[in-house]
Amino acid sequence: AGLQVSAGVAVFAAARRSVVHIRVRTFSPGALANARLDNDDEWEVLGPGEVYGSGTGFVWDGEGHVVTNYHVVSAPDTPARKRVIRATVTSQDTIQDHSVSAALVGADPDRDIALLRLSLDQLPSSFPALRPVQRGSSESLQVGQRVFAIGSPFGLPLTLTTGIISGLGREILPSSSPAEAQEQPLPSPNLGLVARRQRPIFNVIQTDAAINPGSSGGPLLDASGNVVGVTAAIASTAGGAFAGVGFALPIDTVARVVEKYLIPPPHEVPRAVLGVI
């Protein structure tokens, strides 16, 4: 037990500066013009038809890219409702954190992957450089292996949970299926948004590390502090409570999508289309 506690302390200490708390809100054009986006209290005062959600992400590189789930940032962005994304980053000192604007660079909705870019110029000059995560590989994962998840469940940033890999090669059904219980949009803060996905996601990691609304998009780490997955969904009973079955996207899949498609222009994943001539 003592070794497990020590491992958890070391993993959290190494990874905490790489984890980002993400908040998303839609504003009407008039409300956006008058909003103070750096005022946390104002974020929780919603106008008619506005949506507020939150989730987690992690720093991918030194350029300010952050990886998260697409359903965390999938609020509509239209002339009538403008989407605003804020990300809170933390320094080595737990008291010192700062919130900056973030832009959606690209996404793969069918795999529930999104790439953001932080406005690093909004950080004070004294703020230490962002620390990208240590990336591992999901290829050699084994059932029974200890893992750690860091997220913002119910709006509580930098929450660490632990468990094991319970299964490999699982499938997350399309989001219209009742078998998948992701964060649902509700008229209250600190709950994630959900995107309608038409295709299943294959080769998913199953874990019993606690994952709750707001945890989505956070890193799943091995005992060495390497990211091996991105927490994405839970299977639960009615009511959406965690029941010991969580799912994470394998980091090898995420890395391939991010590096090959989302970082380079045009920042999108091509889709094969069948047609009739």
Residues assigned a catalytic role: 71, 112, 216
- Cα distances (Å, whole numbers) of residue 67 to 45, 84, 144, 231, 274: 27, 17, 26, 11, 30
3-state helix, strand, coil in the chain (%, to 5): 20, 35, 45
Q: How many CB atoms lie within 10 A of CB 46?
A: 16
> What is the C-alpha to C-alpha distance for residues 236 and 224, in angstroms, rounded to an integer?
29
Which CA distances in Å does 219 have to 25, 58, 119, 204, 234?
23, 7, 21, 14, 15
Partners of 38 in beta bridges: none
Check: CB of residue 228 under 8 Å from CB of residue 220: yes
CB 195 within 8 A of CB 112: yes
Structure tokens at 7: 């491992």
CA 61, CA 41: separation in Å to the nearest integer?
30
- Helix/strand/coil for 123: coil
CB distance 56 to 92 below 8 Å: no
Of 37, 172, 58, the closest CA to residue 115 belongs to 58
Contacts of 253 (CB under 8 A, 6+ apart): 111, 138, 203
